[in-house]
Amino acid sequence: MKITYATMSADNEELHAAYERGLETARSWLGQDHPLFIGGDGRWTDERYEERSPIDVDIVVGRYSQGSEQDVADAVAAAQAYFPTWAATPWKERVALMRRAGDVMEKRTPELAALVAIEVGKSRLEALGDVAETVEFFRYYASQMERHDGFVIELGKLSDAEENVSVLRPYGVWGVISPFNFPMALAAGPSIAALLAGNTVVLKPSNTGAFAALKFYELMRDVGLPAGALHVVTGGDETGAALVRNRDVDGMTFTGSYEVGMGIYTRFATDRPKPVICEMGGKNPAIVTATADLDVATDGVLRAAFGYSGQKCSACSRVYVERPVYEPFLDALVEKTERITVGNPLERDVFMGPVIDEAAVRRFREAVAEVEARGGRILVGGHVLTDGEYAKGHYVEPTVATVTEDSWVWKRELFVPFVVVAAVDTLDEAIAKANDTPFGLTAGLFAGTEAEIDRFFERIEAGVTYVNRRAGATTGAWPNIQSFGGWKGSGTSGAGGGGPWYLRQYLREQSRTVVGE
């Protein structure tokens, strides 16, 4: 069966058996030390970061060499040296290599998904989706190169003696800084696009999630990607900052918080104009009108708020419900939330695993305390889980709350399983409140009339929008199905990942004129 983020269940014994075998393989990889990879060579550094699983902090996922400014400079120099060769590689050869890589990753999906689950605490469906999405990035971006014939377009003529052509060409060295929450898809996706376009890549993954990025590198090496085309420098904030300030990096893709993304956006191109693709946070609203199917609406909000413990930039964190259905909506959402299984995400029937670290637990506690301090109500959840099977991990309860809208829980991106709900009088009021945020990543509507749907699409300020989607009110974009990119403070490029305009960002136009006799 095809696994996407919209898959509601996976009642497929063959799939689960493959996942269990993959889990044994992934466990055999744990606890090892890992080098940087520069020019195809492993480079060890004295400083190491030890990553532990949020499921059980006694599990050491891996220890990663931490790249210095010099290591970053060496990786950029190696990428720069190889760029002319990679750019001159016929685009059809690059496409064939990426398709081959996608096929190999598809075969390795069970073990890679199991690693993702151990490393960052994803449930089976979420982890399988992370890897399956990466496979689709290989195939979709390759198809885009093919569809546009390598982005070479014949132009008009002023005379029969001339030939004019528009050619899209790569920039050079591309930096990719990826986050923990989609450790395979968001390390690989931008790298695949940049490489297909003919750029060389220096990838700096989050220390949390670095193993998945290293497995992506390993796979690319195994399928024959030349050593000079892709380099991986693991490290923390300083390593990322060194990549951003390196003047020989020609383009940059970052996925992460608004604060860090805006810093990169304003600092990266100081010496010359350079492309910066930043996908940042979200405070994503769902709207429920009086004409909505409440069973569909509560399923959609629940999956978007609590899938992967709310740790998606697209997670639904606020809901505006028209008054006639406000109480019934709340009652149904609370009842369904109470039935969510929280536990070890490696187990088949667990819907929600841990949050990523102690900092996330603290944000959860602060949000609960804020609601209580302002006289709000925690309708379900609100507790940190510390006993029994939860004792060694970072577990919290999925939480639904109501509180006055002057509380900061309506404004800040929390990245935990916490959603607040308020009543509104009209759809227009709901849309106005939904838009009252610096962010504009995703938004959802549940409504029963075409007029309401049209009104929502016309006025909502978000790059990814969903209507009546049981599989996720604000989450679940998939390559070639929904482009994923934000408006306002959620994105800089205006072209969503996995969409028809994304690959274009990694190329620049050259107009070529040849005049004959």
- pLDDT for 493 equals 78
Calpha distance 364→373 (Å, rounded): 14
- pLDDT for 10 equals 73
The alpha carbon of residue 216 and the mean position of all alpha carbons in its chain are separated, in whole angstroms, by 15
**142 CB-near residues (< 8 Å, 6+ apart):** 95, 98, 99, 102, 196
Q: pLDDT tens digit string along 167-189?
A: 999 999 999 999 999 999 999 99
Q: 258-267 and 237-245 helices cross at what angle (nearest 10)?
A: 30
Residue keyed to tokens 């690319």:
220
Domains of the chain (ranges plus CATH)? 13-280+495-515 (3.40.605.10), 284-469 (3.40.309.10)
Q: Is pLDDT above 70 for 158? A: yes
> Catalytic residue positions?
279, 313
Q: pLDDT tens digit string along 262-304?
A: 999 999 999 999 999 999 999 999 999 999 999 999 999 999 9
What does the block give as tokens for 442? Answer: 């995703």
Q: pLDDT tens digit string along 211-230?
A: 999 999 999 999 999 999 99
- pLDDT for 409 equals 98
- Strands, DSSP E only, in 292-364? 316-322
- pLDDT for 5 equals 78
Task: Look over the chain and give the mean of its residue pLDDT values, rounded to a whole number.
Answer: 97
The alpha carbon of residue 232 and the mean position of all alpha carbons in its chain are separated, in whole angstroms, by 19
| Pairing status of strand 60-65 against strand 48-52 | antiparallel
Residue type, 181: N
Rg value, the chain, Cα: 23
Percent of the chain with pLDDT over 90: 97
With helix as H, strand as E and coil as C, how does 265-285 read?
HHHCCCCCCCCEEEECCCCEE
Q: Is pLDDT above 70 for 439? A: yes
Calpha distance 476→486 (Å, rounded): 14
- pLDDT for 125 equals 94
Mean pLDDT within 89-109 = 98
Q: Is pLDDT above 70 for 1? A: no
* Burial label, 413 (beta-carbon count in 10 A; 0-12, 13-18, 19+): buried
Coil, strand or helix at 484: strand
pLDDT band of 95, cuts 50, 70, 90: very high
Percent of the chain with pLDDT over 70: 100
Inter-CA distances, 157 with 77, 152, 161, 162, 514, Å:
41, 16, 8, 6, 10
Q: pLDDT tens digit string along 346-395?
A: 999 999 999 999 999 999 999 999 999 999 999 999 999 999 999 999 99
The alpha carbon of residue 264 and the mean position of all alpha carbons in its chain are separated, in whole angstroms, by 18
**Sign of the Cα pseudo-torsion (53, 57, 63, 67, in order):** positive
- pLDDT for 11 equals 77
- pLDDT for 7 equals 78
Calpha distance 381→396 (Å, rounded): 8
Q: Is pLDDT above 80 for 129? A: yes
Q: Tell me the whole-structure pTM to 2 decimals.
A: 0.96
